[in-house]
Amino acid sequence: MELVLSNFDLYLSAFRLTIGLFLVSAVGSLLLGTLLAAMRVGPIAFMSKAATVYITVVRNTPLLIIFVFVIIGLPKLGILFRSVEELGISSFFFRACLALTLYTSTFVAEAIRSGINAVPLGQAEAARAIGLTFGGTMTQVVLPQAFRATVPPLASVFIALLKNTSVAYAFGILEATARMKYFTNISGNDLPIFLIFAAGYVVLVEIISFGANRLERRWRVAR
C-alpha cells in the first residue's frame, strides 16, 4: 500500500496509458463501427453481406487472438507499422489500439444498428406522408431518434473497451494491469495493491456510465 502511495506517479502514468489506449481506440472504433453499420443497414446487398461476415467473425473471436494476430502475426507479413514511429508514437501502442479498434468496432456497429432498428417504421412513413424529403426524414425524424437509442448500448461497449485495454498487458504495454503486477511482484502484501488498482478502474467505469446516464436523461424523448 505504502509502496503504491510513495510511487503514486507510476500509478498515475499507468492509468494515463490505460486512458490513452481507451480514447484512441474509442475514436477509432466509433469511426470504423459507423462505417460498418452504414454498410450493414445500407441498400447494397453485397456490402451488407461483407459487413455481416466481418462482424460475425471478429465478434466471435477472443480479443486476445486478435492481439496475437496484430502484434505477432502481422510482422510475419512484414507489416510492422514503422511509419507511425516517425510520428513519435510507439508502434506497440499503435498496434494495441489497432487490435482494440478492430474488435470494438464490431460491437459499435451492432449498437448503432440496434439504435436504427429501434425507430418504428411508422415514424418514417409519417414523415414521408407530411411531405418531408428523404433528407428531411433522415435528419429531422429518423437519425435523432436512432442516435438517442444508441447511447445505452454504446456506453456498455465503451465500458467493455476500457476493461479490454488490460489485454495489452500480455503484449508488453505498461498500462494499469501491468503496473499492478509490477507492484505485487516487489511487495509481500498484494491485496491492498489489487484494491487500489481496481478502484482506478471502478472510478473510470463510473465516469463513463454516469456520463451516459446524463446524456440519456437529457435526450430522452416521450414515446
What residues numbered 68-87 form the site for another protein, per CB under 8 A?
68-69, 72-73, 76-79
By CB under 8 A, residue 46 contacts another protein: yes
Span 178-197, contacts to another protein by CB under 8 A: 180-181, 184-185, 190-191, 194, 197
Q: Quote the distance between the C-alpha of residue 103 and its chain's center.
A: 8
Which amino acid, residue 154? L
By CB under 8 A, residue 47 contacts another protein: yes
Quote the CA–CA distance of 86 and 98 in Å, as a whole number.
Answer: 17
By CB under 8 A, residue 142 contacts another protein: yes
By CB under 8 A, residue 140 contacts another protein: no
Burial class (CB in 10 A: 0-12, 13-18, 19+), 156: middle
Among 198, 210, 211, 219, binds another protein (CB under 8 A): 198
Q: Which long-range contacts (CB under 8 A, 24 or more apart) does 10-16 make?
A: 10/179, 10/182, 11/179, 11/196, 11/197, 11/200, 14/174, 14/175, 14/176, 14/178, 14/179, 14/180, 15/175, 15/176, 15/200, 15/204
By CB under 8 A, residue 155 contacts another protein: yes
At 62, list the grid cell: 477472443
Quote the CA–CA distance of 24 and 123 in Å, as a whole number.
Answer: 36
Q: Which helix (H) or strand (E) holds 221?
A: none
Span 2-31, contacts to another protein by CB under 8 A: none
Site pattern 93..132 for another protein (x: CB under 8 A): --------------x--xx--x-x--xxx-xxx-------
- Between 87 and 185, whose beta carbon lies closer to another protein? 185
Residues binding another protein: number (CB under 8 A): 71
Please report how close the Cβ of residue 119 comes to another protein at its closest, in angstroms.
Answer: 5
- Between 88 and 218, whose beta carbon lies closer to another protein? 218
Please report how close the Cβ of residue 120 comes to another protein at its closest, in angstroms.
Answer: 8
138-149 burial, b if ≥16 CB within 10 A, otherwise e? eeebbeebbebb
- Between 85 and 190, whose beta carbon lies closer to another protein? 190
Please report how close the Cβ of residue 127 comes to another protein at its closest, in angstroms.
Answer: 9
By CB under 8 A, residue 55 contacts another protein: yes
